[in-house]
C-alpha cells in the first residue's frame, strides 16, 4: 500500500467558480497521457470528468432557460392552443435540433425553469461540480411540492448547505433522503397529500415488449412491495443449486407461479434433485417470515408529534405513513431503549455495548443502534439496507489482546454490504470512521494505492437526533474466559493477519494526522 495520502477531495473540492464560458477541457488525464498516468490519477480523472459533465448540464439548462425566456417570455398567451402554444413551440426547436422526442425536450425546459426559479443555489452547485446532473434531476422532482410557496427559498438554501458539508460524491438514496426530510419539515401536509395521491394512482399494467415478452408492473404501498418481493425471492430460492436459471429468471417464474397458483418447478433436470418446493395452495404460498424495518421516534408513533420516519430499503416516509404501518395487525414495535431504562443526570441513556460472554459480539441494543444510525451500507454508492448488511469492526478487533485492537463500540462499528465487507476483509482496502470537529460521524476509504475516498455524507442521526443521546458501556479491557474460544489461526497465518492489521492501523494514523493538519490550516 502506498505510504502517500491522496484525497478525492482535491478533485471534488472546487475553490473557485467555473468560468462563464465552457472550457474545452474540464480536468482529468488528457487522452494522450492515459497510458502513462498512475492509478490514482485515473480514478481522480473520473471525478474531474464528472464535474465537467455537471458544468455542461448547467450550461444546457442555462441555454434552455434563455431560449424559453425569448420565445415564451414570462406571460403565457391565454389564447394559445394547447398543442401549439409558445412553450410547445419552444420545445419543438430543441426536440428537432437534438432529434429527441417532444416530451424529452419539454422535460429539459421544465428542469431548467425549476433550477432558475425554484432552486438557484442548487444550480450553482451543479455549475461548480458539487453534484451530478442525474442527482439534480432527483432534487428537482423531490422538491416539486415547494414550487410557488414562500418557503421554497429556504428549502433551496438548506439543500445547498447540506451539499456543501460533504467533499465527496452523493448517492441517489442519500440525496433523496436528505431532500425528503427537508421538504417534510417545511410542508408535512403537502407530503401527506402527495402520498395519498400516489396511493390513489396505484394499479397494475402490462407493457408489450419485444420477441414475445412483456413487462408486468404494479404500483402499491412501499411496504407491500417489499413484502411481495421478499415472498417472490423466497419461492425462487427453493430451486436447488443445479438450477441453471439466473436469480432474476427464477424470480420471474416464481412471480407467475404465485399469481396463478401454479407449481413452481426446479429446472435442474436431475432425478436426484433436492429442491423442496411448496405446493401451490392458498396465499401465502411460501412459508416465510418477511420483515420490514420502520424507524420512527416514540412521539410520532404515539401521535403526539409529526416527525418523519424511515422505511429501510425505501427512504424517508411521512408521520401518517409511520402510524399506518404501526397499526397493521402484523406490526411488532420494538423500542431501541428498553422500557424502564433510567436516563443519566445529563439526559443521556447508557445501554450495554457487547455480550457479557464475548466482547467481540455487539449487544442487541448496539447492533440495532448501528443499523438504525447507518440506514444503508456505508460503502459509497451502495443502496443495500443496513438491516441486510454485515456489522463490521472498522478497526479490526484483536481477539488475543482486545485492549490493543478495535473495540466493540458504536463509533467503531458500521454496516457494510457483503461485497464491501469482503473487499475490506480479504483485500488491501482500509476504512476509517471518526468524529469531525462538528461532532458529525464520518467515514473514509483508502484504496490499495493510497487514494482516500470520502464516505457517505449523512447518517440517520440527522433525521433522528434522539440517537445522539444514547451512550454505550465502556469496552472491555480483556476477554473473559468462555466455553467456546474463538479459533486461533496457525502461527504463520496469524503473523500475516497481524501484520496486515498493523499496516492498516498505520495507514489510519497517517490519515488522522493529515485530517488534523488540514483542520489547523
3-state secondary structure labels for all residues of 287-322: CCCCCCCEECCHHHHHCCCCCCEEECCCEEECHHHH
| Residue 451: DSSP 8-state | E
**pLDDT given at position 433:** 93
* pLDDT tens digits for range 40-70: 888 888 888 889 999 999 999 999 999 999 9
Does residue 20 carry a pLDDT above 70? no
> Is residue 443 a contact partner of residue 455, using CB atoms and an 8 Å limit?
yes
Report the 3 state secondary structure along 400-431. Answer: CCCCCCCCCCHHHEEEECHHHHHHHHHCCCEE
Residue 390 and residue 412: Cα distance in Å, rounded? 14
Q: Report the alpha-carbon distance of residue 321 to residue 327 in Å, rounded.
A: 10
Asked whether 184 and 164 are in contact (CB, 8 A), the reply is no
Q: What is the pLDDT of residue 504?
A: 67
Task: Name which of 381, 442, 449 is nearest 416 in CA terms.
Answer: 381
Q: Which helix (H) or strand (E) holds 437?
A: none
Exposed, middle or buried: residue 258 (CB in 10 Å: 0-12, 13-18, 19+)?
A: buried
Instruction: State the pLDDT at residue 283.
Output: 47
pLDDT of 327: 92
Confidence of residue 131 (pLDDT cuts 50, 70, 90): very high
Cβ contacts of residue 354 below 8 Å, gap of 6+?
360, 361, 362, 363, 366, 408, 473, 475, 476
pLDDT digits (tens, 9 = 90+) for 247-298: 999 999 999 999 998 999 999 999 999 998 888 764 445 555 668 899 999 9
> Tens digit of pLDDT for each residue in 135-146?
999 999 999 989
Over residues 10-17, mean pLDDT: 47
C-alpha cell at 215: 413487462
Query: How many Cβ atoms sit within 10 Å of the Cβ of residue 60?
Result: 15
Strand pairing class (358-362; 354-355): antiparallel
Look at residue 478 in the predicted model and tell me its pLDDT: 44
pLDDT at 482: 37
pLDDT exceeds 80 at position 26: no
194, 162 contact by CB (below 8 A): no
Range of weakest confidence among 148-152, 275-279, 403-407, 510-514 = 510-514
For position 66, what pLDDT does the model report? 94
Q: Within 13 Å and on the Cβ side, how many CA atoms surround 384?
A: 18
pLDDT score of 1 more than 50 = no
Residue 309, φ and ψ in degrees, nearest 5: -120, -170
What angle do helix axes 86-98 and 102-117 make, rounded to 10 degrees?
Answer: 120
Q: What is the pLDDT of residue 5?
A: 58
Is residue 396 within 8 Å of residue 406, measured between CB atoms?
A: yes
Angle between the N-to-C axes of helices 188-200 and 319-326, in degrees from 0 to 180, rounded to the nearest 10: 60
Q: How far apart are CA 19 and CA 22, in angstroms?
A: 7
pLDDT of residue 230: 87
Residue 141 grid cell: 422532482
Per-residue pLDDT at 498: 63
- Of the candidates 337, 479, 460, 332, the one whose C-alpha atom is nearest the C-alpha of residue 397 is 479
Instruction: Name which residue leads in pLDDT, 381 or 514.
Output: 381
Residue carrying the nine cell digits 420494538: 334
Number of residues in the chain = 521
pLDDT at 291: 82
Q: For the whole model, what pTM was predicted?
A: 0.81
Q: Is the pLDDT of residue 10 over 80?
A: no
Res. 104: pLDDT tops 70: yes
pLDDT top residue among 467 and 402: 467
How many degrees, rounded to 5, is the angle at CA 412 between CA 406 and CA 416?
A: 110
Helix or strand (DSSP H, E) at 498 = helix 491-520
Q: Are 114 and 140 in contact (CB under 8 A)?
A: yes
Predicted confidence (pLDDT) per residue in 333-379, tens digit:
889 998 889 999 999 999 999 877 788 889 999 999 999 999 999 99
- In this prediction, residue 493 carries a pLDDT of 46
Contact (CB, 8 A) for 101 and 87: no
Name the one residue in this structure whose C-alpha cell is 404465485.
258
Q: What is the reported pLDDT for 496?
A: 58
Between 25 and 195, the more confident residue is 195
What confidence tens digit (pLDDT) does each residue in 213-240 have? 999 999 999 889 988 998 899 899 999 9
At residue 399, φ and ψ (nearest 5 deg) are -65, -30
Mean pLDDT, all residues of the chain: 85
C-alpha cell at 394: 472498522
Residue 325 neighbours by CB distance under 10 Å: 21
Cα(410)–Cα(366) distance, integer angstroms: 7
Position 73 scores a pLDDT of: 80
The better pLDDT of the pair 482, 110 is held by: 110
Nearest to 141 by CA among 104, 170, 183: 183
Query: How do residues 383-427 score in pLDDT, each as one tens digit?
Result: 999 999 999 999 888 777 766 777 889 999 999 999 999 998 888
Is the pLDDT confidence value at 300 over 90? yes
Helix (H, G, I), strand (E, B) or coil at 376: strand
Amino acid at each position: 500500500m502506498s505510504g502517500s495520502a491522496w484525497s478525492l477531495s482535491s478533485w471534488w473540492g472546487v475553490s473557485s467558480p467555473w468560468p462563464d464560458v465552457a472550457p474545452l477541457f474540464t480536468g482529468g488525464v488528457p487522452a494522450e497521457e492515459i497510458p502513462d498516468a498512475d492509478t490514482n490519477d485515473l480514478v481522480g480523472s473520473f471525478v474531474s470528468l464528472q464535474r465537467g459533465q455537471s458544468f455542461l448540464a448547467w450550461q444546457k439548462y442555462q441555454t434552455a432557460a434563455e431560449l424559453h425566456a425569448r420565445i415564451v417570455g414570462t406571460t403565457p398567451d391565454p389564447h394559445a392552443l394547447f398543442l401549439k402554444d409558445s412553450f410547445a413551440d419552444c420545445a419543438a426547436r430543441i426536440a428537432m435540433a437534438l432529434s429527441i422526442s417532444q416530451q424529452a425536450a419539454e422535460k429539459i425546459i421544465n428542469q431548467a425553469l425549476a433550477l432558475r426559479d425554484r432552486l438557484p443555489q442548487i444550480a450553482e452547485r451543479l455549475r461548480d461540480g458539487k453534484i451530478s446532473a442525474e442527482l439534480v434531476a432527483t432534487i428537482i422532482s423531490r422538491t416539486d411540492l415547494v414550487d410557488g410557496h414562500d418557503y421554497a427559498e429556504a428549502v433551496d438554501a438548506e439543500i445547498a448547505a447540506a451539499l456543501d458539508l460533504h467533499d465527496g460524491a452523493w448517492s441517489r438514496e442519500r440525496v433523496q433522503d436528505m431532500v425528503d426530510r427537508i421538504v417534510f419539515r417545511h410542508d408535512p401536509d403537502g407530503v401527506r397529500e402527495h402520498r395519498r395521491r400516489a396511493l390513489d394512482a396505484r394499479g397494475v399494467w402490462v407493457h408489450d415488449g419485444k420477441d414475445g415478452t412483456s413487462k408486468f408492473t404494479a404500483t402499491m404501498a412501499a411496504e407491500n412491495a417489499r413484502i411481495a418481493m421478499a415472498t417472490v425471492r423466497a419461492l425462487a430460492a427453493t430451486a436447488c443449486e443445479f438450477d441453471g436459471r439466473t436469480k432474476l429468471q427464477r424470480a420471474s417464474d416464481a412471480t407467475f407461479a404465485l399469481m396463478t397458483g401454479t407449481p413452481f418447478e426446479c429446472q435442474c433436470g436431475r432425478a436426484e434433485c433436492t429442491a423442496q418446493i411448496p405446493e401451490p395452495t392458498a396465499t401465502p404460498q411460501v412459508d416465510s417470515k418477511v420483515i420490514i424495518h420502520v424507524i420512527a421516534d416514540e412521539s410520532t408513533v404515539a401521535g403526539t408529534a409529526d416527525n418523519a420516519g424511515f422505511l429501510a430499503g425505501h427512504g424517508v416516509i411521512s408521520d401518517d405513513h409511520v402510524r399506518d404501518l404501526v397499526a397493521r395487525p402484523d406490526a411488532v414495535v420494538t423500542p431501541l431503549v428498553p422500557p424502564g431504562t433510567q436516563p443519566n443526570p445529563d439526559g443521556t441513556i447508557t445501554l450495554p455495548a457487547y455480550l457479557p460472554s464475548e466482547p467481540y459480539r455487539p449487544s442487541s441494543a448496539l447492533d440495532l443502534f448501528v443499523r438504525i444510525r447507518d440506514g444503508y451500507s456505508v460503502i459509497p454508492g451502495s443502496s443495500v439496507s443496513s438491516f441486510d448488511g454485515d456489522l463490521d469492526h472498522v478497526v479490526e478487533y484483536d481477539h488475543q489482546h482486545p485492549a490493543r485492537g478495535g473495540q466493540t463500540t458504536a463509533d467503531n462499528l458500521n454496516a457494510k454490504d457483503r461485497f464491501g465487507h469482503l473487499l475490506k476483509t480479504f483485500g488491501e482496502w482500509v476504512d476509517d470512521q471518526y468524529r469531525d470537529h462538528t461532532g458529525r460521524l464520518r467515514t473514509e476509504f483508502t484504496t490499495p494505492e493510497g487514494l482516500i475516498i470520502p464516505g457517505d455524507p449523512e447518517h440517520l442521526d440527522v433525521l433522528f437526533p434522539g440517537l445522539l443521546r444514547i451512550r454505550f458501556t465502556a469496552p472491555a479491557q480483556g476477554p473473559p474466559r468462555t466455553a467456546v474460544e474463538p479459533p486461533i489461526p496457525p502461527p504463520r497465518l496469524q503473523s500475516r493477519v497481524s501484520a496486515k492489521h498493523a499496516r492498516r492501523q498505520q495507514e489510519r494514523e497517517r490519515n488522522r494526522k493529515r485530517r488534523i493538519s488540514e483542520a489547523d490550516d
